[in-house]
């Protein structure tokens, strides 16, 4: 039956006798199997090696198809469950699902659904069986992904207060390259929002013609209009997720241009903009992501309290900041001092006085007046930026809707020396971590160490690929990729004594066993002319310090098409709730160097058995 089905699909293409590489690719697409062009080209070339003309006949095509599609590891497992070696009866498929895929609930209906969805041969479908062709298509499908199907949609309770969630957050979202001379572009906002990012950063400065602009102040990065940024956010805010978007404003504008910003936000975002409290006016706890669906929140300084409601005159808020001793010195103190002015402005700069080098080598504190337009202040409801003083100060004075931003260097010291107080702080208040100002090339820090203490907004440079962004993308695959992940109970409970360094009674040990079977159609090495690679796989665990681990497979020589390992790795994980697992494929190019081939990261608890 399989042979007849195969011929019925392909014979038409061989009416003239033979086909070329291009037609081979088109025909493979028609068979609904994922192919990598480099591998097909390589196998095709090997087939025509001794011939003068670059074409193949019907038998050649069948051989190419089998080489790429009929994987030995699939044939082995298929034969274990198929009594005749040709088809799986529905009962045999159920046995496979229960024993191999750990689908304990699998029944006749499950088997039938899979057969109807993946079996390409009609005659086999009709008798409720599955051919090897159907089995291959099932094994290559999303249904057999290592990522749990149930975690592909929102499954967590979304009715907790905002501070109970990890929130996907971006730093300097407008930059698409480095922090010094690269372009600013609204594409940065589109890309972040389409990835499910829920906290975006906007650096606002006075522009010409009373139009505020967005760029990295005191640098040569290009400028884009604030208005165009809000228009893009309005269009893309809720494409990937229904849950609230927070606009973190780093506001350097005059009162006049802040009023323009407020008008922009109101006119462009309209009903999406949250401009009053949800429910009563008294705020005793933050509302939930569910209660704020399809809303945009403004994170900025605010005059007075949320309870006082809207004020109608322009007031001045005093804020104590630290004067910089030189231009290369960053203050990890506060959002307004977040950026290092790496290029001092010329003497005509209006802000020159803010960065006057101090006469003494030590930083001096001074009172800096920050003018806040009431129109903008009134738009700040649940995300009021508050300068971080100390954990004790916050506990005594901070309101639930006041948030802190802490630079990575200072935050890292807290993780090391005051982890328990840090966890207590993040159980009450939204805390945003941002990269240090010296990361001029837009590099990132490891976000895991700050998730470990419950920081909600761990802001990264989304434009910079690497392990750090791979951890970010992997973590936020969870909960339907909606950008909000419910923190484990021990990071929400205000009486928790959890710290990442001494897990103690919060340990929930899990034994993890991974069998690395094979790879398929791996990208060949950049250095190889023969489509070969020497692949190895590194399995990495990220989590609390005790759980950090790496294990490596052996190297399979000269095989990018179908490397086979059959190696087992075991890990014991103390805090699975915080752990991520990363599979990284490398090509061994010499005894001392490996080339990155690809990776996949996901939360440990989103890992499917089977």
Classify the C-alpha dihedral 552-558-561-565 as positive or negative. Answer: negative
Calculate mean pLDDT across residues 552-575.
Answer: 96
Question: Band of the pLDDT at 308, cuts 50, 70, 90?
Answer: confident
Residue 585 in tokens = 């494929």
DSSP summary character for residue 19: B
Gap between the Cα atoms of 503 and 325, Å rounded: 40
Question: Band of the pLDDT at 305, cuts 50, 70, 90?
Answer: confident
Q: Where in the sequence numbering do the catalytic residues fall?
A: 171, 216
Q: Which of 483-487, 559-563, 591-595 has the highest mean pLDDT?
A: 483-487
Give CA torsion, residues 142, 146, 148, 151, to 10 deg.
-80
Gap between the Cα atoms of 593 and 582, Å rounded: 20
Q: Are strands 564-573 and 510-518 parallel, antiparallel or unpaired?
A: antiparallel
pLDDT, one tens digit per residue, over 14-53 is 998 899 999 999 999 999 888 899 899 989 999 998 788 8
Residue 332 has pLDDT above 50, yes or no: no
H or E segment and range at residue 40 = helix 37-47
Gap between the Cα atoms of 152 and 142, Å rounded: 11
What's the mean per-residue pLDDT of the chain? Answer: 89
- Boundaries of every domain in the chain: 1-69, 72-144, 162-305+367-491, 507-606
Calculate mean pLDDT across residues 303-332.
Answer: 46
Domain 72-144 annotated CATH 1.10.238.10: yes
DSSP for 168-188 reads: -BBSSTTBSS-SSSSPB-THH
**Cα→Cα distances 159→288, 290, 406, 555, Å:** 5, 6, 27, 48
Better-scored residue on pLDDT, 341 or 118:
118
Gap between the Cα atoms of 459 and 467, Å rounded: 15
pLDDT at 531: 66
Count the helices and strands in the chain (H runs, E runs). Answer: 19, 21
pLDDT, one tens digit per residue, over 511-520 is 999 999 999 9
Q: What are the two backbone dihedrals, phi and then psi, of residue 473, each rounded to the nearest 5 degrees?
A: -65, -40
**CA 318, 321, 322 angle in degrees (round to 5)?**
155
Residue 178 has pLDDT above 90, yes or no: no
Residue 422 has pLDDT above 80, yes or no: yes
Gap between the Cα atoms of 594 and 596, Å rounded: 7
β-sheet bridge partners, residue 320: 367
Residue 524 has pLDDT above 50, yes or no: yes
pLDDT, one tens digit per residue, over 226-274 is 999 999 999 999 999 999 999 999 999 999 999 999 999 999 999 999 9
Gap between the Cα atoms of 204 and 441, Å rounded: 21
**CA 15, 19, 24 angle in degrees (round to 5)?**
120
Residue 318 has pLDDT above 50, yes or no: no
Better-scored residue on pLDDT, 530 or 291:
291
Residue 161 has pLDDT above 90, yes or no: yes
Calculate mean pLDDT across residues 316-320.
Answer: 43
Identify whether the C-beta of residue 274 lies closer than 8 Å to the C-beta of residue 388. no
pLDDT at 590: 83
pLDDT at 27: 93
Calculate mean pLDDT across residues 304-311.
Answer: 68
Residue 319 has pLDDT above 60, yes or no: no
pLDDT at 321: 28
Question: Band of the pLDDT at 310, cuts 50, 70, 90?
Answer: very low
For the segment(s) 162-305+367-491, the CATH number from 3.40.50.300, 3.20.20.60, 3.30.60.50, 3.20.20.190 is 3.20.20.190
Residue 76 has pLDDT above 60, yes or no: yes
Gap between the Cα atoms of 27 and 124, Å rounded: 22
Specify the residue for token string 């307004």.
Answer: 336
CA-nearest of 471, 444, 450 to 583 is: 471
Residue 417 has pLDDT above 80, yes or no: yes
Calculate mean pLDDT across residues 285-297.
Answer: 97
Calculate mean pLDDT across residues 128-140.
Answer: 96
CATH topology of domain 507-606: Immunoglobulin-like (2.60.40)
Calculate mean pLDDT across residues 468-477.
Answer: 98
Specify the residue for token string 């190019």.
Answer: 589
The reply to whether domains 162-305+367-491 and 507-606 share a CATH topology is no
Residues with Cβ within 8 Å of 601's Cβ and at least 6 positions away in sequence, in order, are 470, 471, 473, 474, 475, 580, 581, 582, 583
Gap between the Cα atoms of 288 and 304, Å rounded: 23
Residue 362 has pLDDT above 60, yes or no: no
β-sheet bridge partners, residue 71: none
């Amino acid at each position: 039956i399989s042979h007849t089905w195969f011929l019925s699909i392909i014979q038409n293409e061989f009416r003239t006798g033979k086909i070329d590489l291009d037609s081979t690719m088109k025909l493979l697409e028609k068979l609904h199997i994922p192919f990598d062009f480099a591998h097909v080209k390589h196998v095709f070339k090997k087939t025509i090696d001794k011939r003068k003309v670059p074409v193949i006949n019907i038998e050649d095509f069948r051989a190419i198809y089998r080489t790429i599609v009929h994987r030995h590891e699939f044939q082995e497992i298929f034969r274990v469950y198929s009594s005749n070696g040709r088809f799986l009866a529905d009962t045999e498929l159920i046995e496979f699902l229960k024993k191999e895929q750990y689908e304990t609930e699998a029944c006749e209906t499950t088997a039938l659904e899979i057969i109807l969805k993946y079996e390409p041969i009609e005659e086999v479908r009709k008798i409720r069986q599955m051919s090897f062709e159907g089995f291959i298509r099932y094994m290559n499908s999303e249904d057999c992904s290592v990522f749990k199907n149930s975690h592909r949609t929102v499954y967590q309770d979304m009715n907790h207060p905002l501070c109970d969630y990890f929130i996907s957050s971006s730093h300097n979202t407008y930059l698409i390259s480095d922090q010094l001379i690269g372009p600013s572009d609204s594409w940065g906002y589109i890309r972040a929002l389409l990835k499910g990012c829920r906290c975006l950063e906007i650096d606002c400065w006075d522009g010409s013609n009373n139009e505020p602009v967005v760029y990295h102040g005191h640098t040569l990065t290009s400028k884009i209009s604030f208005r165009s940024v809000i228009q893009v956010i309005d269009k893309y805010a809720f494409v990937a997720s229904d849950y609230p978007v927070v606009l973190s404003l780093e506001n350097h504008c005059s009162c006049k241009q802040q009023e323009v910003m407020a008008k922009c936000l109101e006119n462009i975002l309209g009903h999406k903009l949250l401009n009053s409290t949800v429910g009563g006016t008294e705020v005793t706890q933050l509302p939930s992501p569910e209660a704020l669906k399809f809303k945009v929140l403004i994170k900025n300084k605010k005059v007075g309290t949320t309870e006082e409601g809207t004020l109608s005159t322009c007031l001045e808020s005093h804020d104590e900041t630290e004067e910089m001793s030189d231009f290369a010195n960053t203050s990890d103190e506060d959002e307004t001092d977040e950026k290092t002015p790496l290029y001092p402005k010329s003497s005509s700069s209006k802000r020159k006085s803010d960065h006057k080098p101090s006469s003494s080598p030590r930083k001096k504190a001074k009172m800096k007046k920050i003018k806040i337009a009431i129109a903008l202040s009134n738009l700040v409801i649940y995300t009021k930026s508050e300068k971080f003083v100390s954990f004790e100060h916050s506990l005594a004075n901070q309101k639930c809707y006041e948030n802190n931003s802490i630079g990575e260097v200072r935050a890292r010291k807290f993780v090391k020396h005051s982890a328990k107080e840090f966890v207590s702080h993040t159980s009450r208040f939204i805390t945003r971590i941002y990269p240090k100002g010296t990361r001029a090339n837009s590099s990132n820090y490891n976000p895991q160490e700050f998730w470990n203490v419950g920081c909600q907004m761990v802001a990264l440079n989304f434009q910079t690929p690497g392990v750090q962004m791979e951890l970010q993308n992997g973590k936020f695959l969870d909960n339907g990729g909606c950008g909000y992940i419910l923190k484990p109970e021990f990071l929400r409970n205000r009486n928790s004594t959890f710290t990442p360094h001494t897990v103690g009674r919060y340990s929930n040990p899990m034994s993890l066993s991974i069998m690395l079977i094979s790879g398929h159609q791996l990208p060949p090495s950049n250095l190889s002319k023969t489509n070969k690679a020497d692949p190895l796989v590194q399995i990495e665990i990220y989590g609390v310090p005790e759980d950090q681990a790496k294990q490596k497979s052996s190297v399979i020589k000269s095989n990018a098409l179908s490397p086979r390992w059959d190696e087992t790795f075991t890990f014991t994980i103390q805090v699975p709730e915080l752990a991520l697992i990363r599979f990284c494929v490398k090509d061994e190019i010499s005894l001392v160097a490996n080339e990155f081939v690809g990776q996949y990261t996901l939360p440990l608890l989103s890992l499917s058995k089977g």
